[in-house]
């Protein structure tokens, strides 16, 4: 019983990790293709996206705002 619960938890965590990896890659590709006002902004966002957690602020600060316009 406990082994089944642990296995289910690992499957859920692994699925979430893979989904987040694809999300991070999508944000990284978007940052490379996105036309920023100057190259300095692009390099700053690429440095932030170098950390995997940086995909979340990039999504809310750049991608979501640019899709509204």
3-state SS string for 2-68: HHHHHHHHHHHHHHHHHHHHHHHHHHHHHHHHCCCCCHHHHHHHHHHHCCHHHHHHHHHHHHHHHHH
Q: Is 2 a domain residue?
A: no
Residue pLDDT, tens place only, 22-37:
999 999 999 999 898 8
Q: Give me the domain span that covers residue 41.
A: 21-68
Report whether pLDDT(56) > 80: yes
User: Is 9 inside any structural domain?
Assistant: no
* Burial grade of 34 (CB within 10 A; 0-12, 13-18, 19 or more): middle
The total number of structural domains that make up the chain: 1
Residue 10, domain member (yes or no): no
Whether 12 maps to a domain, the answer reads no
Residue 43 lies in a domain: yes
Is 3 a domain residue? no
Q: What is the pLDDT of residue 63?
A: 85
Q: Decide which of 51 and 66 is more confident.
A: 51
**In the structure encoding, which two tokens stand for residue 69, read together?**
């316009």
Average pLDDT over residues 31-44: 90
Per-residue pLDDT tens digits for 10-25: 999 999 999 999 999 9
Residue 6 lies in a domain: no
Prediction pTM value:
0.81
Given this model, what pLDDT does residue 66 score? 79
């Amino acid at each position: 019983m406990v082994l089944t619960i642990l296995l289910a938890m690992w499957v859920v965590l692994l699925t979430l990790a893979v989904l987040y990896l694809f999300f991070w890659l999508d944000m990284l590709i978007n940052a490379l293709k996105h036309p920023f006002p100057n190259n300095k902004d692009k390099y700053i966002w690429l440095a932030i996206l170098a950390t995997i957690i940086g995909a979340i602020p990039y999504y809310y600060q750049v991608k979501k705002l640019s899709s509204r316009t």
